[in-house]
Amino acid sequence: MIDKKDLQLYFIMGSNNTAANPVHVLQDAINGGITVFQFREKGISAKTGAEKFDLGIQLRSVCRENNIPFIVNDDTDLAVAFKADGIHIGQKDESIKDIKKRIPKHLCAGVSVSTVEEAILAEKQGADYIGVGPIFKTKTKEDALTPIGMHGLGTIIEKVTIPIVAIGGINNKNARQIIQAGADGIAVISAISKVQNSEIAAGELKKATNL
């Protein structure tokens, strides 16, 4: 299970989200105050096989040493092999209902949603939290949908009771309104991974999400 407060500042990264060493970026992000990390090795020039596994192991170690929950994107077998704290899936992946049957009980399972219907279904099928997005325009996800905006986020917040983390184009200028709208946290990639100083960036986002 994942605590609501662990979702406050949810950092996601794979090797193609940074020009720097991802292990260093993750450590800086943790120093700045992230509360959970998702390993998302996806898209152009993403690592596969042993290289993906090796990077994941290194990132998991950094999380373990710092008591930060480690979540794996998409790959249930990898999440189990990593002894991760959770798995995160999208709408095109296997259903959360089936995944929950296959994973150890202590692993949390999150689902990406962008509509009220998907959110209600995810909750019904046992998701521990939902990632709602994209809220704003994002350059990070190649196949991102049309942004649902603050209004879209609000309609989903009204309809589900499981924890909600908002994603897509979130930065330190628009983060506060997400929390004020009632989300439990923000999930970001580029606002931490693609900046000069990830520690400062994470610190600013943390401050913005501390109401």
Task: Report the Cα 4 to chain-centroid distance in Å.
Answer: 13
Q: Give strand pairing partners of 113.
A: 132
Q: Considering only 24-32, 44-52, 132-140, 172-180, which stretch makes contact with ligand 3NM by CB under 6 A? A: 132-140
Rule CB under 6 A: say whether 190 interacts with ligand 3NM: yes
Query: Beta strands of 97-181 (E only): which ranges?
Result: 108-113, 129-132, 164-167
User: At 7, which amino acid appears?
Assistant: L
Question: Judged by CB under 6 A, which of 35, 140, 172, 209 binds ligand 3NM?
Answer: 140
Contacts of 136 (CB under 8 A, 6+ apart): 147, 149, 168, 169, 170, 174
- The answer on whether 98 is annotated among ligand-binding residues is no
* Region binding ligand 3NM by CB under 6 A among candidate stretches 19-27, 61-69, 175-183, 184-192: 184-192
Do you find a cis peptide bond into 134, omega within 30 degrees of 0?
A: yes
State yes or no: residue 112 binds ligand 3NM (CB under 6 A): yes
**Is 34 annotated in some ligand binding site?**
no
Neighbours of 165 (CB within 10 A): 28
Q: Is 169 annotated as a binding residue?
A: yes
185 lies in the binding site for ligand 3NM (CB under 6 A)? no
Torsional sign, CA 79, 74, 56, 3: negative
Q: What residue ranges in 1-84 does DSSP mark as E strands?
A: 9-13, 36-39, 70-73
| Residues that are catalytic | 40, 112, 141
Residue among 134, 152, 163, 185 that touches ligand 3NM (CB under 6 A): 134
Residues 152-171 interacting with ligand 3NM (rule: CB under 6 A): 167-170
The smaller minimum CB distance to ligand 3NM, of residues 59 and 104, is found at: 59
Closest CB to ligand 3NM among 60 and 141? 141
Q: Which is nearer to ligand 3NM, 144 or 150 (CB)?
A: 144
CA distance 162 to 53: 31
Binding residues: 38-42, 73-74, 93, 112, 138-141, 169, 189-190
Q: Which residues bind ligand 3NM (CB under 6 A)?
A: 12, 112, 131, 133-134, 138, 140-141, 144, 167-170, 188-191
